[in-house]
Structure 1
């Protein structure tokens, strides 16, 4: 199965955004990648509010934990508490390898927790594996 999926990347670090975009481009990942840089914008996008009124519902969210205006933990909590949004798979993709962040993310119903590799080649490999899993292995709602 090679269906294109809508991916929402919630990331404030321009370097990490660029690496993710390059990982998608380098491996010819055919998914639509949309980026928002803070938690409040993420929730507005997910709820189709304001400038995001026509935004597509993502099939997958890649979520950084350390975000301005509303951190990733709050985004994850609100997303998973919302009956309209909770079925969207969320992969926490963050620099934190703190056990409390891992536990809290899973307690908030994250679907996976991945610590971002610092090495670019390894980062590309991780993004490719996430893509392979959600495009080729699992069945997403509405697909």
Structure 2
């Protein structure tokens, strides 16, 4: 039986959400995508609070830095500080090429930092490469 990977996409830009969903649908790996549109929703989902108390934990998180309520750095910090959640790979996927954002993301233990391309074809190719590396090549923890 083919595995279905559960990905939490933390993104507030509807255009990027549409493109990411399309890229994963075109990929060779079966995925289930859950969407959080702000940092509070992402943390509630990951910590299974409120309306998210029964959700399945994701295999991977795609995290934008520039999101409302709690920014991506705060979400990343809390996830990687938690003994249960810290093993979930978090790929920062953002428009920011600011070196401070990059350094802070790695200081908070992101697994990868990828800058979104402004060119649609390059954006789609980048997402497919993320999918190929993390879902086809890498092996996840069972914790």
Q: Place the TM-score, normalised by the shorter chain, in its bin.
A: over 0.9
Is this contact kept in 1: 2:29–2:136, CA < 8 A?
no
Q: What are structure 1's unaligned runs of at least 5 residues?
A: none
Question: Normalising by structure 2, what TM-score?
Answer: 0.95
Is 1:124 the counterpart of 2:124? The answer is yes
TM-score (norm 1): 0.95
Contact 1:3/1:135, CA 8 A, preserved across alignment: no
Check if 1:136 corresponds to 2:133: no
Query: Counterparts of 1:27 and 1:45 in 2: how far apart (Å)?
Result: 25
Q: Which residue of 1 aligns with 2:111?
A: 111
Higher relative contact order (CA 8 A, sep 6+): 1
Give how far 1:119 is off: 1.2
Measure, in 1, the Cα distance between the counterparts of 2:30 and 2:119.
23
Q: Please give the root-mean-square deviation of Cα atoms over the aligned residues, in Å.
A: 1.3
Whether contact under 8 Å (2:64, 2:94) holds in the other structure is yes
> 2:37 aligned with 1:32, yes or no?
no
TM-aligned CA deviation for residue 54 of structure 1? 1.2
* Paired positions, count: 142
Aligned residue number for residue 67 of structure 2: 67
Q: How far did 1:26 drift? A: 2.6
Q: Name the residue aligned to 2:92.
A: 92
Give the Cα separation in 1 of the matches to 2:13 and 2:29: 21
Residues in 1 aligned to 2:70 and 2:92: alpha-carbon distance in whole angstroms: 15
- In structure 2, the gaps of 5 or more residues are none
CA distance in 1, matches of 2:138, 2:89: 11
Q: Distance in 1 between matches of 2:25 and 2:88?
A: 23
